[in-house]
Structure 1
């Protein structure tokens, strides 16, 4: 088996689909640093199942997907496929028939990883299991990456042991042992749970037996109670019926009296109606008169308001005329004043303009003098700034000190405030009233508990109706539990037996693929399995060779498993001998093969007997006759497994561990398992049906539970408050102590801050003294500067005075011009307004004439309306007197009518009361009927069977007596009898399961012991062989010296492995004292020693020659060339010597940044092409 090629697409830097072929036994992968050579090694490890992103030089598994470059976008998935040449059938099992094997892994951006074997989707475990024992794996010794050489030689003993296990091919045994241990653990867990259930069930059965007797007594009393309740209900029904008849007769008499009174009432109502008609007519007349009075009053009011409005308007017009006359006089005076002011403004403007021109000339001369003074001042300012800079530095230091002192004082103030706050909080904790609140809540909690008890009692009453359906559910669940237990126990037994069968199987080996186990070719009847296994067991894993001679078996001797027996085709026969074991098997053979089966000839040489006595008898007869054989047979086998001859005897051992017997038992258990699955499905269906019915009943109970839940929630809330208050009380005590400690801490801090302030104050005094000296020097400079500044200020003041005077004159000119314009506008505006006032005066005089004309006509009309209103008021008073007389008579008539209605109402109330009483007795009678219907009893049957002298009191006393007996029984489990039978059956079933699980556990433990035995044997042999090869290879690599492996413990299952190496001329005490190159050569010696024992299909080496010098590289190359005869090598190197050793060169380039490409060269073809 060898690696043919690798197909990469989107994996790390190999963004383009790339195929890397490996046609030769030695392929070197070369290229510059960072071009992606090591990504080839990562790709192989990734496909073989590596699950750690760190080991693939990434942070997440999606980091293996090409993430883009400066010219390319990221891709969404990546895939790597390894193609193997399997023509040597190194991979066995179902894949042995394939000459080419493909293993592929694909991952997407959402971290979904998928594996494929020959294009078929599979699990990661399938890929791992495929290469178990071959030396291949994501972290096996077949892949040596950068830095792994040093880690290998410095690895811990347990880590180094893993390589020996892989070489020994026992990694599959470890996996199988782990699975078996898991099954043992699950079986033990099941056994513990089963024991708990059996113990609990035993206690329940004792209680159920006592409850069953009470349940029988309870059912008898309940039947008697039902009978008495039915008879008592019938008595009450008769009594209520008689009361209903009496009340109905009394009701009819009162109804006749009510009818007579109603006739009288109708006659009185006719007279009342006539007076009501007259009353309505009188009211209508009064309303009409009132409407006329209202209309007349409105007309009078309107006329009075018109007169008043006219008077008011006359006054307003006269007042407006007076105001207009005054305004016209004022406008005449304003116009004259504006014309006078206009003439004055024109004269002032002519005087100000020449004065303004003179001031502008004076201003120009003053500005020239100011420029000269400012130049001198700038020179003084330059000198002053230099001294002020030094002064500012000193002042900044003082300010900084002041700031520090202020900061410390602020901190001291905050510390003082903090101490005050802590003292206040401590005093507040003393005055807290939490204890009183706690007592109140505890009282509320006790009251709420009483409410919960009452609600619980109500729920318990409702829960009785759910008891029967719950019992049915329990019965079905018990049945389902039993079926599941049987199913699990049967499944565990099958797993255990299959594990033993697998242990008995011979491991595949490509050099002996033509071998197959003899017992796998036989279909042995169950009654002959003990006899056949007695022979096969003593031959230790016998196998049969098909179409091979003894000479061929001798040639393959070195590849045969240790301790097996092999029959050549010359030792086989298809002709059974009479009375032999072979003949007995053929007679009972039930196989499906069309042609006869072949048997070893030795089966024809063994006489078969049905029992041990017959076997002893024929051997004794042969001994008595002094024969060396038994009736022509070399030995005798009994059905029980007894095997003997005239010279020896083999006593049969245990009969439960045979391979053939286990195969038969597995078949029987598989059939049982199918039956249990059908029972489990049926029980689940039934449980769903009962569960639906139970859900309906539980919905009815939910309303009752709601009140209980509310009370529980309220109680829980109060309890939580109590807990919180209790916690607060405790926290207050703890907080009080913390406050005391904090106050002391803050006081210490306050004292420290006080000391720092004192120290900074002393420093500040020194700094302020220096400032005073510098300030005196600056004042001298400033004095001279101030003299020059005064001169400049005087010049500037003169300039400003002249500018101000010029501005005043210019402003005065502008004001005079504005005044002239305003006066002119005012004259025009006042003349226009005088004309408007004249027009308004004429309009108001005309309106005053019109207001004085209609006043006399309105006064006459008002006098007429007042006289009409008086006449209408008199007519309304007469009608009101007539209405009062009618209403007085109506009140007297209605009083008599009400008295008669009251009598009728009293009679009707009596009738209604009788109706209520009748209905009450009728409801009681119907209630009795409903109770009888609920209890499925017939009223007619009860009345017929009821004695004539039946008395309600007597029946009630008898019922109370029976119910008292029921009460004395207390709580009774009505399903106890049936449940007792069910649980007893369940107990027997669980006992059977316990026995089966115990047997299965013993079987699994036996399998563990066999696996451990095989593991010890193989590990020991492999360790010795690797150690010998290491001792041989080390001197060849180093040119001398010695190396060996050692075990750290006597337990071969747990021991670690250490390595000791001593190069020529050195006596180091530990491997860690070697140089880097020596460690690398030692590690390579160990790896190649493992390869010699169990060569992996190929070996990947990533720059393992980097720490070696040229001489050691040459030895390394020679060793690799020698081993390449049996192992395919693929190595990454930068060393020219190592490149020359390769038969094929594969170059990896990165012409495009971030993208790797491959170039392959056949060295032999290249040399031939160059020579040509």
Structure 2
């Protein structure tokens, strides 16, 4: 036998279907880490029945299904199959090929298949017993198994050796035999218990059967009498029902009419409430509109105040502009004065220049006459004079320039002083404006925050007002609902009180006796009134009491006798009395174990609350009645106690002694037990509703008060918000104006600074010109001195010519100097005059600008005054609108008050109709109670007939005996016969059948007991034989493995010793196995003391030894040589080849030595991320060669 092929689809990383074909020898499966090659080993282990998801490296078994990748969807199932060649029929099946398959779905469902036919895991396990193949065998060895051999406890290695020596199947058989033996012993124990119980039942049942026959005869006689009494009672009840039904229909018609009237009133009431609600809406709307009108007026008045403030500010600006204009006019006047002075000075200098020029003409004329005379003599002097004249002109020009510079410097200094004063003034003004702006900005932010807070407060108040309105409506609705519910509850309470006071639902005699309660001493009351029962037990207790619920408890027999005389005297009928002095407590319940049976709640008298003095009464009535939760538990208990118990269920089924069973549709119409409880509940509910009503009224008052206070606060906040918004507008305007002034001041300050810089530059230029003129004058003075010296020299030469010539020459020179000086003065005056004219023009331009600004302010003031008039008209119109709204508001209030008056009238009508409805409902309830009472009586009679005899009314009529028409005589006979039956006590009516059944069952179980004893003896023999065979087989097999292990160890290690030992003091078939190794050159030591490689090689030696002794058809090794070095890998591969004679090997590896020893290679790789694929052998070989 060998492994032919393997198919995987959807298992772990094998998303695509792949098939691996295997041959004899060694097949290697290689691939990089993470490629999925170890998933092949997991697949073989899984298909052979591995049940541990953790062993398969998962958390759940569905984890083996391909879970998808980024590009591939997950699959819905995983499938693996292996095909084995079984031509040598190693496997105990007739097929030459065996295919084992396993499939698991994402739902968790899985299946095993053998040659395509579904099978069990057990079938797969049994197929491979003692072949070495299987999840617990040694045909699949991975690193986990090696680790378990190396590190596991000696007991955990046992499974490997059991499989190797071939005793696994015997152990399984022994386990199955032991399990079967335990089951047989359990069955024997149960049968012995049952036989003992049956032996105790046979004797008493024989006696009970005789009593049962007599009882059945008397019961048949009682049936005949009961049926005829039943027919007489049903006839009487039918007559009473006919009369009551007529009265009921009349009351019902009257109630329908009153209901119709009530509906009409309700609709009118609802319509009126809708009108009131609409009126509230109109009033609220008018109030809001009035509030909006007031707010609008306040806003407009605020706008007026704002405009007036702006006009006042414009007036103040006009005054400031006038002051600035006056200052400019003063400056202009000063400039005009300077202009006049310069013009006057210009005329004077020009006159001097004309006079000097006339003198110069005369002097030149005289000098020319003399010059002509002495021309020749003065040729040399003339040259020097020309030079001197030129020098003097230059000097005059320089002096004239110095004078101009001096004048300009004085004027510029004056301008600088004025400009400095203006700069200081402007800087002070700018600081004041900055402080004003900062203050205005802070005020604006403060007011803005105030407006924001007021808005938030107003929105919060509006939200609160909405919430309060919702709460008010909610409280009104709740109050209306409470009042309606209270009316219903009170009506129901009154009705129940009347019913309780009149003892409706009780018999006529009972009512007559209870009417005498205050007259005759000693009446305690009816049983129903003296006990209290939880609601869930009411049906059961009322069923258990039956007619006894109307029994009357008295102080003693004397009181009971007096009441009986009263009933006889008035011919009021009959009643049952329970004197406290006569009725005694029953003996303890004789079957206490029955109370511990499943589903049994307890004895009925223990589930009832009552005064201690009534213990005897309740014990007598309920002390022997058991309460069960369901009919199934009741039937089981009754059967166990041979139908000798009284049992009731929570749903009202009644099981009587003898086997009678009452059940079906049970209607507890009289509800005598629940009546008192309902009264208490109603009183409590009414008290709660009244308390809720007061709380609701209080809450409504609180809501109204809160709304009033909120409205006042809201109005206050709205007024504050209006004022704050006005302040915000004013502050905003002030802030903007202040900002504009700061910007204008900064702009003017910049202009002043620029002008100051220009003046300083001009002064520096004047200083530099004056310095240069001084230097030039000094040079000219030096040249003049030289020329004068030359002229003096020449003049000494010409002194002899003529004093006149000298005089004329000096006079001309003097006049020329004066002319040059005067010309310079004229030029200086003209320049100053030109500058003053420019200053005057600039002053005029500034004055015109101020006039235009003043004109704009006046125009703006006029426009704002016009706006104020328009706003006042709007305020006047708003006032008129407010008056109209106020008038509409008063009318709406008056209309609402009128509707509220009508609303109160409706309440009176509703109360009267409610009283009529209550009266009629009480009458209808009384008639319904009578009908229900009769129906209850009829039902009780019908139930009695069915429970006792399984007869319907129609069937009972067929049994009528006309001779039995005297009801009184019938009752007497029935009573006597019942007493006779009662004297017989509890009778097991099924005793005859039970006796026969128990006898038959006893014989059958005795036979079974003997058969089980035989089977037990046989199983013990089988287990002993298996133990003997397994011990012998294990002893021989273990010795063989020891010898083979030592031999293989020496071959793999190249010497040394390997030894196996059984744990001492333990059972041979369960003892653990210790591995001891002695590698070459080392002492014999425990395996745990070896190195990692030595331990791995030791474990491999053990596995190879087992394979030598008992080869498995195929063996899959999953990287078990990973811890070995290269030399040991070569030894491992070489020995592996020796084993291929008897075993086929599939080796998953990444070691080159192992790969080289393989006869065939499969490569597993991930060409697509997350998906393992099979690649060609040549490709793998190419990779290995590389």
| Shorter-normalised TM range | 0.3 to 0.5
TM score, norm. by length of structure 2: 0.43
TM score, norm. by length of structure 1: 0.44
- Higher Rg: 2
